[in-house]
């Protein structure tokens, strides 16, 4: 007899899965680059992994965006205390601010922007992939 927890198996879509991605250890049934859209309320930020890169995912008033998680100032992880207001995220460490739709800096040193990622929705599952995928 197969235990219930083994009867549900997700088959990764290899055509869009970044190299080195794996099943998430803290989100059962999801890949490391996936999240449950309905579990990320507007104004909230969560962390996923694309390969070995840490990526912050934002719910900006119902639209999902993703950027590198590391603040380009001194590296604070934006999913840890970053404040999302509309489409702007403010780093809690020194107050730099970024537009999550483009990665552009709003407050901080011009030219230091956040790397962007693409967010795809497949029903309630959000999937983050590199922009060039
Ligand atoms: S580390 Fe983000 S503003 Fe300084």
Asked if residue 42 lies in contact with residue 60, where contact means CB atoms within 8 angstroms, the answer is yes
CA of 74 to the centre of ligand 1 (A): 5
Question: Does residue 106 belong to any structural domain of this protein?
Answer: yes
Q: Domain range spanning residue 73?
A: 37-130
Distance CA 30, CA 114 (A): 25
Q: Give the domain CATH number at 122.
A: 2.102.10.10
Question: Does residue 17 belong to any structural domain of this protein?
Answer: no
**Alpha-carbon dihedral of residues 74, 79, 81, 85, nearest 10 degrees?**
110
Asked if residue 101 lies in contact with residue 66, where contact means CB atoms within 8 angstroms, the answer is no
Q: What is the pLDDT of residues 23-72, one digit of tens each?
A: 776 777 899 999 999 999 999 999 999 999 999 999 999 999 999 999 99
The count of structural domains within the chain is 1
Residue with the smallest CA separation from ligand 1 atom 3 is 94
User: Which residues does a 6 A CB cutoff place in the pocket of ligand 1?
Assistant: 71, 73-76, 91, 93-96
3 burial type by CB count under 10 A (0-12 exposed, 13-18 middle, 19+ buried): exposed
CA of 133 to the centre of ligand 1 (A): 29
CA of 5 to the centre of ligand 1 (A): 42
pTM of the entire structure? 0.84
């Amino acid at each position: 007899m197969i235990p219930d927890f083994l009867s549900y198996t997700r088959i990764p879509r290899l055509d869009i899965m970044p190299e080195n991605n794996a099943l998430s250890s803290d989100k059962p049934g999801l890949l490391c680059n996936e999240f449950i859209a309905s579990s990320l309320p507007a104004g909230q930020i969560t962390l996923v992994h694309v390969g070995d890169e840490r990526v912050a995912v934002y719910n900006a008033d119902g639209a999902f965006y993703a950027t590198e998680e590391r603040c380009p100032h001194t590296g604070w992880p934006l999913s840890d205390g970053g404040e999302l207001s509309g489409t702007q995220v403010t780093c809690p460490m020194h107050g730099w601010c970024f537009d999550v739709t483009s990665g552009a800096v709003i407050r901080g040193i011009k030219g230091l922007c956040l790397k962007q990622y693409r967010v795809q929705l497949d029903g309630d599952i959000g999937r983050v992939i590199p922009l060039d995928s």
